[in-house]
């Protein structure tokens, strides 16, 4: 089968399209004929070992342990292990493989059945592949921030993968949502249901005088101190992703600042969670959440797809069409 392989850390240039052996499912696994895969910022972070401590977190000290990257997968079940009870060949499934070896950038991949859920009938495979990691990250971050109906929520990086879902999920919770993005992405953020949109090239949300109950920062281009000024006295700031310096700032400075007054500042490292993915499915099927897909790439062009996401140009999600 064809697969994208990374046998060393580096830029997207280290990725190669190769023929590899077809995987065989273990007893609790299913073999998926991959139809589409999602591209996430996590793909280039892991590929570059950025931040460096990912090497010490089980991803490989000198080279990637998972040679075939790709977390978000959507496809059809080709075969099942003897202990699998929920799925059978022909079922349409999708899920996040980041906790079980990755491998979505390939024609076939094996995954534990508990990493997958049934694909909603109204979603295409490409749309389904755009959902798992980004949407679950947005959901977990909003929950961590204690989102409630009627709150004023600011989503920084509202036009990105996580941001597009955060805007829609926050609206589904009944919040008044303001999205922050660049000029060329204002219309996209409005189309997602944002009540207000801030073009950061023309307006500084940290200096505008508006205060928010919850800030979800999926861009992390501003200092946590700047974002803190835009919080209500009892507000919460939650960072997801972003540059390494901002990540450490939220991890180390955030808890210290949180002890000085009623505002809470920190970050969230999302974890694959089947129940949360099912919760997102409910929102999709209810019409509250719709994947926003910017570009589609064939399997051979995964390096270009990852580079496009890394450069910050994506308007929503980027997917790889395998079949």
Q: How far apart are CA 80 and CA 62, in angstroms?
A: 33
Q: Verify that 102 and 155 share a domain, yes or no.
A: no
119 in a domain, yes or no? yes
Q: How far apart are CA 112 and CA 23, in angstroms?
A: 13
Q: How far apart are CA 56 and CA 61, in angstroms?
A: 6
Q: Verify that 146 and 107 share a domain, yes or no.
A: no
List the structure tokens of 144: 């961590």
Q: How far apart are CA 106 and CA 245, in angstroms?
A: 33
Q: Verify that 125 and 13 share a domain, yes or no.
A: yes
Q: Verify that 178 and 253 share a domain, yes or no.
A: yes
Residue 290: which of 146, 75, 126, 116 has the closest Cα?
126
Full residue range of the structural domain in which residue 57 is found = 2-131+291-321
Q: Verify that 172 and 82 share a domain, yes or no.
A: no
pLDDT at 25: 98
- Picking from 252, 267, 282, the residue at the C-terminal end of a domain is 267
Q: Give the pLDDT confidence of 79-114 residue by residue, as tens digits.
A: 999 999 999 999 999 999 999 999 999 999 999 999
CATH no. for residue 54? 3.90.180.10
Q: Nearest-5° angle of CA 282, CA 285, CA 291?
A: 100
279 in a domain, yes or no? no
Contact between 204 and 224 under an 8 Å Cβ cutoff? The reply is no
List the structure tokens of 136: 């679950």
CATH no. for residue 249? 3.40.50.720
pLDDT at 244: 66
Listing DSSP states for 242-283 in one string gives --HHHHHIIIIIHHHHHTTSS-EEEE------HHHHHHHHHH
Q: Verify that 91 and 127 share a domain, yes or no.
A: yes
Which residues fall within 8 angstroms of residue 290, CB to CB, at 6 or more apart? 168, 284
Around Cβ 226, how many Cβ atoms within 10 Å? 13
280 in a domain, yes or no? no
Contact between 152 and 212 under an 8 Å Cβ cutoff? The reply is yes
Q: What's the number of CA atoms in the CB half-sphere (13 Å) around residue 256?
A: 8
Cβ burial of 74 (10 Å; 0-12, 13-18, 19+) is buried
Residue 223: which of 245, 197, 256, 251 has the closest Cα?
245
Number of domains the chain is built from: 2
pLDDT at 85: 97
Q: Verify that 256 and 231 share a domain, yes or no.
A: yes
pLDDT at 125: 98
275 in a domain, yes or no? no
Q: How far is Cα of residue 115 from the mean position of the Cα atoms in its chain?
A: 16
Looking at the DSSP bridge assignments, the partners of residue 110 are: 31
283 in a domain, yes or no? no
Q: Verify that 94 and 198 share a domain, yes or no.
A: no
Q: Verify that 182 and 301 share a domain, yes or no.
A: no
Q: Show the low-confidence residues of the chain (pLDDT under 50).
A: none
């Amino acid at each position: 089968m064809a697969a994208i392989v990374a046998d060393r850390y580096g830029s997207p240039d280290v990725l190669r399209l190769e023929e590899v052996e077809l995987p065989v499912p273990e007893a609790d696994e299913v073999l998926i004929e991959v139809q589409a895969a999602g591209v996430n910022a996590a793909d280039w972070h892991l590929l570059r070992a950025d931040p460096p401590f990912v090497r010490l977190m089980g991803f490989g000290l000198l080279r990637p342990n998972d040679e075939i990257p790709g977390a978000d997968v959507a496809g059809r079940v080709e075969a099942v292990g003897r202990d699998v009870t929920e799925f059978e060949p022909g079922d349409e499934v999708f899920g996040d493989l980041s906790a079980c070896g990755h491998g979505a950038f390939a024609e076939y991949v094996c995954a534990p059945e508990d990493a997958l859920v049934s694909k909603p009938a109204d979603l295409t495979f490409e749309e389904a592949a755009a959902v798992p990691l980004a949407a679950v990250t947005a959901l977990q971050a909003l929950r961590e921030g204690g989102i409630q109906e009627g709150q004023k929520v600011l989503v920084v990086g509202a036009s990105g993968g996580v941001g597009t879902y955060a805007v829609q999920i926050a609206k589904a919770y009944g919040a008044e949502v303001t999205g922050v993005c660049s000029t060329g992405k204002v219309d996209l953020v409005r189309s997602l249901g944002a009540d207000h949109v801030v073009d950061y090239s023309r307006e500084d949300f940290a200096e505008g005088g508006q205060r928010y109950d919850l800030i979800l920062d999926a861009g992390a281009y501003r200092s946590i101190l700047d974002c803190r000024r835009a919080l209500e006295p009892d507000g919460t700031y939650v960072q997801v992703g972003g540059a390494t310096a901002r990540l450490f700032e939220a991890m180390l400075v955030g808890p210290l600042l949180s002890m000085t007054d009623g505002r809470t500042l920190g970050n969230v490292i999302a974890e694959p969670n089947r129940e949360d993915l099912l919760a997102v499915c409910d929102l999709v099927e209810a019409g509250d959440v719709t994947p926003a897909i910017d570009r589609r790439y064939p399997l051979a062009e995964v390096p270009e797809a990852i580079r496009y996401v890394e450069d910050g140009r994506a308007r929503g999600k980027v997917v790889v069409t395998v079949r």
